[in-house]
Amino acid sequence: MSRTMTNRVVGRPLDRVDGPEKVRGTARYAYEQPVDAPAYLFALQATIASGRITGIVASAAIAEPGVLAVLIHENAPKLAWADDPEIAVLYSDALGFRGQIVGGVIAETSEIARDAASLVRFDDEPRAFDVGLRAHHEDLHKPVNTAFFGAGGGELLNGEICCVGTAAAIANAVHHATGVRIRDLPIALDKLL
């Protein structure tokens, strides 16, 4: 049985109101908007790949002038729902990967936030982890409906088609924003003028 997969996203034009300004470098980003008394956050990240946080010492950071707060899983506001692990940040002491955001220092300037973050100490309890790829691994399973990139349901329904050309996507974005088609690399400003 042969089935043709219809492409719904890749290659379709997308009108963006801010496209021409972004390509030309004239767009205003959130950071450039005028705000009275902004606060800055420096993320605190896990230093181990797997385990849990057993203790946090943030008193030295909190005592620094200009520090507004230190957010951790114990004091961070919770969302109304936490079904999606991508948005359930600071919900528990569990560590799932090195670099996981485990807290944040909020301060009056980015420099103060960064410096105070170096004063926060985490104690952690590492947990053994297994990243071995073996044919007889206990967690090995075949995803449901792997054909046709998950079209029609299954575990790969929300997956991405791999190996989409980044340069081609950028060239298309430049074309949609400016009307100039660039067909050779590198993409440079002199080719747009």
In the chain, where are the structural domains located? 38-126, 144-192
Between CA 74 and CA 71 the distance in angstroms is 8
pLDDT at 25: 87
143: pLDDT strictly greater than 80: no
Angle at the Cα of 75 from the Cα atoms of 74 and 76, rounded to 5 degrees: 105
User: What's the mean per-residue pLDDT of the chain?
Assistant: 80
pTM flag (> 0.85): no
- Using 50, 70 and 90 to split pLDDT, how confident is the model at 115? very high
pLDDT digits (tens, 9 = 90+) for 67-106: 999 999 999 888 777 677 677 788 889 998 889 999 999 9
Candidates 3.90.1170.50, 1.10.150.120, 3.40.50.10490, 2.30.30.100; correct CATH number of 38-126?
3.90.1170.50
